[in-house]
Amino acid sequence: MSRFFQKFQEGDHVVFIAEPAYQNGLYHARMHGKAGTIIGLQGSCYKVGIQDGHKDKTIIVHPVHLKRL
């Protein structure tokens, strides 16, 4: 339950770790294990900035699927 309600600040570094019991706000499987930086908040989810190859991307993820670095 604590991962469901965890809070992040802008600039925090996080890793995508899927929680299989909760599918809402889940990222694409290709992003599993990648690290990124919190950009902002959108509803109850967080915007996470990552670099995929040479492209900057923004992924919207529920906090239950994130782990602080």
- Expressed in angstroms, the distance from the first to the final Cα of the chain is 19
Distance CA 29, CA 2 (A): 23
Angle at 64 between CA 42 and CA 26, to 5 degrees: 70
pLDDT for residue 3: 81
Domain spanning 13-68 has what CATH number? 2.30.30.70
pLDDT for residue 2: 80
Domain boundaries, the chain: 13-68
34-54 in b/e form (b: 16+ CB < 10 A) is bebbbbeeeeebbbbebeeee
> What predicted TM-score, i.e. pTM, was given to this entire model?
0.91
**Are the beta carbons of 27 and 61 closer than 8 angstroms?**
yes
Each of the 69 residues of the chain gets a pLDDT tens digit; together they read: 688 889 999 999 999 999 999 999 999 999 999 999 999 999 999 999 999 999 999 999 999 999 999
